[in-house]
Amino acid sequence: MDKETSKLSGGNQQKVVFSKCLFANADLLILDEPTRGIDIGAKAEIYAIVRDLVANGKTIMFFSSELPEILNSCDRIFLLYEGKIKAELQNGKDINSQDIIHIVTGGAAS
The pLDDT value recorded for residue 61 is 92
Which residues are 78's β-sheet partners? 88
Cα separation values, 51 from 5, 26, 36, 39, Å: 26, 15, 18, 19
Phi, psi of 32 (to 5 degrees): -105, 110
**Per-domain residue ranges for the chain?**
1-66, 75-110
| Fold observed for domain 1-66 | Rossmann fold (3.40.50)
Compute the C-alpha angle 74/78/82, nearest 5°.
140
For 36-86, the pLDDT digits (tens) are: 888 888 888 888 888 888 999 999 998 988 888 888 888 888 888 888 888
Residue 96 banded pLDDT, cuts 50, 70, 90: confident
Tell me the residue ranges of DSSP E strands in the chain: 28-32, 59-63, 76-81, 84-90
The pLDDT value recorded for residue 28 is 92
The pLDDT value recorded for residue 8 is 80
